Copies of this chain bind each other. A is one copy, B any other.
Amino acid sequence: MQLHDFTDLPAFERLRELAADPPDLTADAMLSPQRIREYRLSSCGFDLLYATQRVDGRVLDALQELADQAGVIDAFLAMKGGAVLNRIEGYESENRQVLHTASRDVFSGRPLAPEASARAREQLDRLRGFLDDLDQGRITNHLGEPFQTMVQVGIGGSDLGPRALYLALASQRRPGRSARFIANVDPDDAASVLNGLDLSRSLVNVVSKSGTTLETRTNESLVREALVRSGLDPARHMVAVTGKSSPMDDPEKYLATFHMFDYIGGRYSATSMVGGVTLGFALGYDGFVDLLQGAHAMDVAAEERDIRRNIPLLMAMLGIWNHNFLGMATVAVLPYSQALARFPAHLQQCDMESNGKSITRRGAPVRWQTGPVVWGEPGTNGQHAFYQLLHQGTEIVPAEFIGFRNSQYGVDQLVDGTTSQQKLVANMLAQALALAVGRPHDNPGKRFAGNRPSLLLLADRLTARTMGTLLALYEHKIVFQGFCWNINSFDQEGVQLGKVLATRLLRRMAAAERGDGPGREGDVPETALLEVAGMLPEQSDG
């Protein structure tokens, strides 16, 4: 694989030139019906409308060249085939394959990474058996009653993706089944979830690849204690998802254990058992399989080399255009669907942990901007909150709107001649238009500069299948950008230093609690910080 620097790609200069005078969306007749019809692409049940981006044929051609020159699709195919892409050439690094797509490639019979897909299949079969046992009453609580709630204990990738997907599909839960989540080491997180929960009817699903994550270990311990206090046997209520031979991989302690593998990073793991167990419990096995099939369809569609025919590739390139060439520091993901309320939080991890990097795949410092800040909230809520800044602020924020033609519950009403669902979608379309075209006005307060780029992703309805497609779409967008920037989107070295320092502080706090005062360790910043923060016991003399 070529590891060209981003700024050395021939298309980079071309794009820089084009960025000096980008297409003006406020120009007369620019946003014509023809442009709206033309700047559109359909794939896997999604329509991407991008007429409201500051691009024209020349920019799109140059972005195509950039993608080609960076070898984005070749790298993607290599990834799916099992290449060791999680590495920094010439330095100690994780040196792993990147095979989240394999967990979805279980339907074709001709998987690109057969071994990983076979393992995924094995776990799926085990999950199906477990869920059957629950359905058939072979697994129950000690009173023979069925379990109603699954509490997932995990953090980061073991929380955000599964939680976002669960909330997205909560309308499609099986009767009598629901899920809760505990992530934060904040003891109030566990306390508030456990408060009022009927533990006797609950399964606790502890998810940690290493089996050593501080938050998860601690919360597992809190929940275990709560079970015991309620007179329940933890081994009858607890399930584990962990790496083979991790400290958590202990059949004695859990009702069932499912495995995750080191070639699937946490932030890409929602379609492995990390999401599978809780989603399978809540939606049924078939619901989870629908999600996998939706994701797999996009995994295949994303192999297309023509940016005008590949949604995640085009979105990746438009993102790079806005970020690296038009200088926009952030990107807002704005789902017009309350069910997707936590999807932006999942993308924050998936995107910012993947692409918030400063070195190339060869270990050299990057000389260009890598991943943007990703943020967002559902519309129409955001319209009454931060959209003021999107329209009239001095920070230009490219927006990614996500919407659906039909609601999930189908409970709706005509008010003023339209349904709520129509109002929802109309508002989304109107925002894209307003951001793009702006409005001149004599009163400067009522003036809108326009030229604020956005794109629209539209599908018919948010189902398990659609959700799987959308998830994979964004995963690939992120990975494509990482390939383009020539960074390793699969490690997360940046989380280590905080851990080291936290451990040091906790050692000092524990010592101080034991009366083994911190003064002896000398007047160091850590002690001063603990002292000023009031986190050390009052000092007695001497």
A105 interface hit (Cβ, 8 Å): no
A231 interface hit (Cβ, 8 Å): no
Q: Which residues of B contact A424 (CB under 8 A)?
A: 184-187
In chain A, residues 167-184, which have Cβ atoms closer than 8 Å to a Cβ of chain B? 170-171, 183-184
Instruction: Name which of A245-253, A275-283, A502-510 contacts chain B.
Output: A502-510
User: Which residue from B189, B426, B449 sits with its C-beta under 8 Å from A509?
Assistant: B426
Contact B93 A445 (CB under 8 A): yes
Q: Give bound CA distance, A355 to B530, whole Å.
A: 35
Given A358-B449, A495-B383, do A389 and B407 touch, yes or no (CB 8 Å)? no
Instruction: Name which of A110-118, A119-127, A287-295, A431-439 contacts chain B.
Output: A431-439
A312 interface hit (Cβ, 8 Å): no
Given A345-B385, A385-B352, A529-B36, do A409 and B187 touch, yes or no (CB 8 Å)? yes
26 contacts between A and B (CB under 8 A): A33-B528, A47-B532, A88-B444, A159-B381, A159-B384, A171-B188, A171-B191, A184-B424, A186-B424, A187-B413, A188-B409, A221-B413, A222-B411, A353-B387, A356-B391, A370-B394, A373-B373, A384-B495, A388-B492, A389-B494, A393-B494, A416-B506, A423-B502, A423-B506, A429-B530, A430-B502
User: Which residue from B384, B494, B532 sits with its C-beta under 8 Å from A37?
Assistant: B532
Q: Which residues of B contact A419 (CB under 8 A)?
A: 187
Contact A497 B439 (CB under 8 A): yes
Instruction: Name which of A57-65, A76-84, A332-340 contacts chain B.
Output: A332-340
Tell me how far the C-beta of A384 lies from the nearest C-beta in chain B, rounded to whole angstroms. 3
Contact B266 A420 (CB under 8 A): no
Contact A91 B171 (CB under 8 A): no
A400 interface hit (Cβ, 8 Å): no
A415 interface hit (Cβ, 8 Å): yes
A134 interface hit (Cβ, 8 Å): no
Tell me how far the C-beta of A111 lies from the nearest C-beta in chain B, rounded to whole angstroms. 30
Instruction: Name which of A7-15, A211-219, A474-482 contacts chain B.
Output: A211-219
Q: Which residues of B contact A192 (CB under 8 A)?
A: 170-171, 338-339, 409
Contact A533 B49 (CB under 8 A): yes
In chain A, residues 373-391, which have Cβ atoms closer than 8 Å to a Cβ of chain B? 373-375, 377-381, 383-391
Q: Which residues of B contact A385 (CB under 8 A)?
A: 156, 160, 267, 345, 348-349, 352-353
Tell me how far the C-beta of A424 lies from the nearest C-beta in chain B, rounded to whole angstroms. 5
User: Which residue from B188, B432, B525 sits with its C-beta under 8 Å from A407?
Assistant: B188
Q: Which residues of B contact A413 (CB under 8 A)?
A: 187, 218, 221-222, 225
7 A-B pairs besides A36-B528, A330-B395, A437-B525 with CB distance below 8 A are: A186-B420, A189-B338, A329-B395, A345-B385, A356-B389, A359-B444, A439-B497
